[in-house]
Amino acid sequence: MIIYLDMDDVVADWMGTARAIVNRSWNYGERIPDSDWDKVKAKARMYRDLPLKEGAIELVQYCRDAVMDGRAEGLAFLTALPHDYSVQFAPMDKVNWAAKYFPGIPVFLGPFSHDKWRHCKPGDILIDDRTSNCVEWENAGGHAHIYRTWEECKPWLESILNEDFLASSTD
């Protein structure tokens, strides 16, 4: 099984940055108003400059350790491009951002959020902040977790990795 981590709002603080740009908040899952999205995408290099999300280092290290000790076959970022191709530097900046903070982890593009499930093989794991991505992933035969914090995710991830590891070692 491969562990796929979303980038925006899992390891990179996209929402905090976007809220600071427009000086207001939205709820998770709420569509950002077009007028606010226009302000966010005007920051053409925003993806390059995103800060780490709290818990990102711990999440990634835990996943790296799972690969090293044989509980997972691989680790990759699975991210999406803005739906309207409106941030031309996004693909390059996301790859460079990942290389800066987490060298050696490949970055795959959905290319869009609704395409992520196409990367799923049975048993693969997706950790993503978007409910629809997680539902589609599970429908494709994978395990998915709707991410909010590392503290909330860790017990779920431990359970999935240990369950699958024990099942494969008894085969």
Residue tagged 């998915």 (tokens): 144
All structural domains of the chain, each given as residue ranges with its CATH number in brackets, are 2-169 (3.40.50.1000)
Integer angstrom CA distances of residue 34 from 84, 89, 136: 11, 20, 26
Q: What distance in Å separates the CA atoms of residue 171 and residue 63, rounded to the nearest whole number?
A: 23
Closest by alpha carbon to 125, among 160, 98, 149?
Answer: 160
pTM of the model: 0.92
Query: Is the pLDDT assigned to residue 166 strictly greater than 80?
Result: no
Please write the tens of the pLDDT for every residue from 106-132.
Answer: 999 988 889 999 999 999 999 999 999
Which pLDDT belongs to residue 65? 98
Please write the tens of the pLDDT for every residue from 63-103.
Answer: 999 999 999 999 999 999 987 778 899 999 999 999 999 99
